[in-house]
Chain A
Amino acid sequence: MSFLTVENIVKDFGGLVANNNVSFTIEEGEIVGLIGPNGAGKTTLFNCIVGYHRPDSGKVTFRGKDVTGFRPFETNRAGIGRTFQIMKVTTGMTVLENVMVGSFCRTNNRNTARGEALHVLGDLALDAVKDYYINELPIAIQRKVGLARALATKPALLMLDEVASGLNPTEIEEVVELLRRLNSAKKITLFLIEHIMEMVMKVSQRVIVLDYGEKIAEGLPADIVKDENVIKAYLGEKYAQGL
Chain B
Amino acid sequence: MEKLKDALDFSDFSKAERIGLVIFSVFLFAFPWIGAGSFTTTVMIQFLLFSLFGMGWNTIGGYGGQVELGKAQYVGIGSYTVALMMVWWKVPFWVSMPIGILIAVGYSFIIGYPLFRLKGHYFAIATICTSLVLKDIFDNWNLVGAAKGIELPIHDHPDFLYMQFKSDTYYYYFIMALFYIALFYMNWFRKSKLGYQLRMIKDDEDAAESLGIDIRWCKIKAYSIASAFVAVGGGFMAVYNLYIDPASTMELSLSIKIALMAMLGGAASLWGPIIGAAFLVPLDRFLGSWLGGQKGLTGIDFMIYAALIMIVSAYQPRGIWGIIEQFRKRGH
Residues of chain A touching chain B, judged by Cβ–Cβ distance below 8 Å, are 50, 52, 71-73, 76-77, 81-82, 84, 87-88, 90-93, 97-98, 100-102, 104-105, 108-111, 113, 146, 149-150, 152-153
Known: A76-B212, A92-B202. A108 touches B207 (CB 8 A): no
Q: Assess whether B196 is in contact with A101, with CB atoms less than 8 Å apart.
A: yes
4 A-B pairs with least C-beta separation:
A105-B212, A76-B212, A90-B203, A72-B209
Contact B209 A73, beta carbon cutoff 8 Å? yes
Determine if B219 is an interface residue (Cβ-Cβ < 8 Å): no
Q: Is the CB of B192 within 8 A of A102?
A: no
Nearest Cβ on chain A to B40's Cβ, whole angstroms: 37
Check: B71 CB closer than 8 A to any chain A CB.
no
Interface centre among A84, A108, A110, A153, by most B CB within 10 Å?
Answer: A110
Given contacts A92-B199, A92-B202, A104-B196, contact A110 B210 (CB under 8 A): no
Report which of A50, A90, A100, A109 forms a contact with B210, defined as CB distance below 8 A: A50
> Could you say which of B209, B211, B215 has the most chain A C-beta atoms within 10 Å of its C-beta?
B211
- Cα of A146 to Cα of B200 in the assembled complex, Å: 13
B268 touches A73 (CB 8 A): no
Query: What are 13 residue pairs bridging A and B, where the CB atoms are less than 8 Å apart in the complex?
Result: A50-B210, A52-B206, A73-B212, A76-B209, A84-B210, A92-B199, A92-B268, A98-B200, A101-B200, A101-B211, A105-B211, A110-B6, A146-B207
In the complex, which residues of chain B have a beta carbon less than 8 angstroms from the beta carbon of A153? 211-212
B164: Cβ under 8 A from any A Cβ: no
Closest to A107 in B: B193
Residues of A contacting B202 with CB < 8 Å?
92
Cβ of B213 under 8 Å from chain A: yes
- Bound Cα distance A71, B214 (Å): 9
Q: Which of B193, B199, B213, B214 is A113 in contact with, Cβ under 8 Å?
A: B193
Residues of B within 8 A of A152 (CB): 211
Bound: A90/B202 CA distance, A: 10
Extra 9 A-B pairs, beta carbons < 8 Å, given A90-B203, A109-B2, A110-B193: A72-B206, A76-B211, A93-B200, A97-B199, A102-B211, A105-B211, A105-B213, A108-B193, A146-B207
A84 and B203 contacting across the interface, CB-CB below 8 Å: no
Residue B131 interfacial (CB < 8 Å) = no
Nearest CB of B to A41, in Å: 19
B208 within 8 A of A: yes
The answer, yes or no, to whether B156 is at the interface (CB within 8 Å) is: no
User: How many Å lie between the Cα of A108 and that of B6 in the bound state?
Assistant: 14
Is B191 located at the chain interface by the 8 A CB criterion?
yes
CA distance A98 to B202 in the complex (A): 12
Min Cβ gap B298→A in Å is 42
B268 contacts across to A, CB distance below 8 A? 92
Q: Is there contact, CB below 8 Å, between B192 and A90?
A: no
| Residues of chain B lying within 8 A (CB to CB) of residue A149 | 207, 211
Report the minimal beta-carbon distance from A189 to chain B, rounded to whole angstroms: 17
**A105 to chain B: which residues have CB within 8 Å?**
211-213
In the bound complex, what is the Cα–Cα distance between A233 and B109 (angstroms)? Answer: 52
Binary interface encoding of chain B residues 262-280 relative to chain A, with 1 for a CB under 8 A from any of its CBs, else 0: 0000001000000000000
What's the Cα separation between A81 and B210 when bound, in Å? 7
Most chain A C-beta atoms within 10 Å of own C-beta, residue among B2, B212, B213, B268: B212
- When the two chains form their complex, are residues A88 and B203 in contact, meaning their CB atoms are under 8 A apart? yes
Q: Provide the residues of chain B in CB contact with A72, threshold 8 Å.
A: 206, 209-210
Q: Decide if B207 touches A88 in the complex (CB within 8 Å).
A: yes
Minimal beta-carbon separation of A137 from chain B (angstroms): 15
The answer to whether B210 and A150 touch across the interface, beta carbons within 8 angstroms, is: yes
For residue A90, give the distance in angstroms from its CB to the closest CB of chain B.
Answer: 4
Which residues from chain A contact B208 at a C-beta distance below 8 Å? Answer: 101
Roughly how many angstroms separate A150 CA and B206 CA in the complex, as a whole number?
13
* Shortest Cβ gap from B332 to chain A (Å): 12
Q: How far is the CA of A105 from the CA of B196 in the complex (A)?
A: 11
Indicate if the CB atoms of B192 and A110 lie closer than 8 Å.
Answer: yes
Q: Given the interface contacts A104-B193, A110-B193, A113-B193, does A93 sit within 8 Å of B211 by beta carbon?
A: no
